[in-house]
Structure 1
């Protein structure tokens, strides 16, 4: 997300946290990917006052901004946060700069739609989650911006979301990566606009149209609203040390092998 649409990211983070009100979780370490300066810091500070927040900040968000926001939410958070690298580093490597089994909660707000293969992201999240940890995420689904599809022509082009997974695709992927108890839901949000220039600014911020389409839009009759399909999900990292099966061969973690005592 970029600055023009930051309010949306903040609003979705708030809705994600509301959905967690009924979840009981002992949290020592939180991974926020992507991280940004928003209201979620105060909720983290209230609900998990002793947790360390590991930030993977998105482009355009400085480490100073994040630390300052954490400070105002809870001054102790200034000393209980770490930088796990910028989001650009994760995009290029596909690796989260944290050890195995190092966090209890992964909080990912509006990222998955920009990843070519969300399955690789799920694998990394399961790697860094401790046994019994939780992944919580939101992303834009394939119906986002559907009002604009009939308008496409040589002068005005839309970009498809990098990932077009719907919530059923994501639920299947969570099960395939051996997450437990996945819960998925979805809602439609409608954004209304008084001026087409504001609509185009948000479309670019949402990565739904390239900058070159700004000129082409001058001759297009744009709608006064767009629909966002927001998909929410969470799942547990349980049974990380259980035997794994691949190609009809069972692989057993060494930690499962114990010496029998008399």
Structure 2
């Protein structure tokens, strides 16, 4: 089965956004990271090493929360966007005289080696991936046997109010379609994960003005739909948008604040020991063979 590419994501636009997205942690990402970190209380065994995938966009405060929960664990930070790596290093830099700088728990930077971490943390990254199946496979490869993945992303109900505004004005889609949590579960299983657990919640954000709303959306992402507006738009278009947002999104019960819905999906899954079926011709990767030897060759 080949990688499944979302039909409503333009891969060129997705790559451009990823390479130039603001090197900061949006408020919503930090809030989701805080809520996801609370779920770690149900994990009994602390990892010796954990990976933080795209930490800057995923949340610097969220990284600090996980680090505080696992103070003895080594963190491996990987920034897949080059312009975020320097920001990550500066954010985690310790003075040369600090004993933490030389401890085993000091953060490391770069792509995690295969089977090198026991927990992979990926906050609010998956919904903008042009090839999410390939990304999930990368996460699976970085985890050791019995390691686990913790991730979050946006779900289908996200920005439903904004989509309604665009539709009412006869404009192209306001953004690409977000994947349902059940489809994420299927992709996790296809990548080799076991026991995926998915849940979701809706968060409503309110804004005092349409200008502030649009500013927040620009920090969170951009329109990756292939059928989006093909050219630049002028001042009149922007004024029309602001007026439509004010007219359609104002909540009279909340002092006229403009409300937007965000559906947040949380995912959790384990990497099981590999299963090898012996046939007249079998091929086993070096990583899987090592895992089998550690397990005594027994299937799980």
Aligned to 1:54: 76
Taking structure 2 as the reference length, the TM-score comes to 0.69
CA apart distance, 1:175: 1.5
CA RMSD, Structure 1 to Structure 2 (Å): 3.2
1:159 equivalent to 2:175? Answer: yes
Larger radius of gyration: 2
The alpha-carbon distance between structure 1 residues 78 and 185, as it changes in their structure 2 partners (threshold 3 A), is farther
Structure 1, unpaired ranges of 5+: 85-96
1:203 equivalent to 2:217? Answer: yes
Show CA shifts across 1:109-160 (max 9, x none). Answer: 1000110121111111111101110100000112211111232247786221
CA apart distance, 1:15: 0.5
Of residues 15, 36, 42, the one that matches 1:22 is: 42
The alpha-carbon distance between structure 1 residues 40 and 207, as it changes in their structure 2 partners (threshold 3 A), is closer
Distance in 1, Cα, partners of 2:278 & 2:176: 36
Distance in 2, Cα, partners of 1:138 & 1:48: 20
CA apart distance, 1:214: 7.8
CA contact (8 A) 2:202 2:263 kept: yes
Taking structure 1 as the reference length, the TM-score comes to 0.79
The alpha-carbon distance between structure 1 residues 10 and 27, as it changes in their structure 2 partners (threshold 3 A), is same
1:76 equivalent to 2:76? Answer: no
Q: How many residues align?
A: 240
CA contact (8 A) 2:50 2:74 kept: yes
Distance in 1, Cα, partners of 2:36 & 2:116: 22
CA contact (8 A) 1:179 1:237 kept: yes
1:39 is paired with a residue of what secondary structure?
A: helix
Name the structure where strand makes up a greater proportion of residues. 1
Show CA shifts across 1:64-119 (max 9, x none). Answer: 43214x78xx96267511111xxxxxxxxxxxx33211111110010001101211
Aligned to 1:93: none
Bigger mean CA offset, 31-40 vs 148-157 = 148-157
CA contact (8 A) 2:78 2:112 kept: no
Aligned to 1:67: 92
